Amino acid sequence: MSKLRCIIIEDEPLAVKVLTDYIALVPFLDLRGTFKDAILATDFLRQHTVDLMFLDIHLPRLKGMAFLKTLAHPPAVIITTAYHQYAVEGFDLNVTDYLLKPFEFERFLVAVNKVKTPEAIQSRLTEGGDSKDYLFLNVQKKKVKILLADILYIESQREYIKIVTTRSSYLSKMSTHEIETLLPPHLFRRIHRSFIVSINKIDSFTAEYVEVQGVSIPIGRGYREVLDNL
């Protein structure tokens, strides 16, 4: 079974020890590094593949939320903090979960179980070695089949995503990071931290936005090179 490569970004030694001990108890987690501030973590992320990061909010030099906004393609994120008032902003940035210190191991395990391992993602993307042209997503307590060819764009709705298709719109409780890992990159691209678009459905675009069937979708600053590279 493949493991989730994770890092800890935390400046409190006791909090680092708690997270390190918890990670050691989970067979599918592989701790690759701990960092006292976000600047050091940025350099590591540029050179290594990371699937999950545990991120504190109150960090020296660069705060956790500000750091998260600088990442064009962030891994899955679990916020760890003693301050509950940042939960809404965290969900706006598509974090996987929000752990309020101090948290027990059981609550930690609930959070990490929400993150899919690379092996699990691949098994959902393929069947018998052939790529699927559809997804089954949880929508209102049932599994709904959505054809990839029908998807126009996907928009973050805090802890939910809205999948807009040629037929209808659907709300599913998952992050844009998770849905992005399930979509073939040659057909879909993230152009904003809150939007993923179907490349084939783009009618026109500028440096600021794309148009998909009459809907203008903003392009985030860190994503403008995505369209230039198509």
Predicted pLDDT of residue 130: 44
Distance CA 110, CA 117 (A): 15
Predicted pLDDT of residue 36: 94
Predicted pLDDT of residue 207: 85
Q: Is the pLDDT of residue 129 over 50?
A: no
pTM of the model: 0.59
Domains detected in the chain = 4-115 (3.40.50.2300), 120-228 (2.40.50.1020)
Predicted pLDDT of residue 128: 38
**Predicted confidence band of residue 47 (pLDDT cuts 50, 70, 90):** confident
Q: What is the mean pLDDT of residues 103-112?
A: 93
Q: What is the mean pLDDT of residues 102-109?
A: 93
Distance CA 197, CA 151 (A): 8
Close Cβ partners of 158 (under 8 Å, ≥ 6 residues apart):
88, 91, 92
SS percent in the chain: helix, strand, coil, step 5: 35, 35, 35
Predicted pLDDT of residue 10: 95
**Predicted confidence band of residue 73 (pLDDT cuts 50, 70, 90):** confident
Predicted pLDDT of residue 118: 55
Q: Running DSSP on this structure, what letter comes out for residue 213?
A: T
CA 113 vs. chain centroid, Å, equals: 14
Q: Is the pLDDT of residue 163 over 90?
A: yes
Q: Is the pLDDT of residue 91 over 70?
A: no
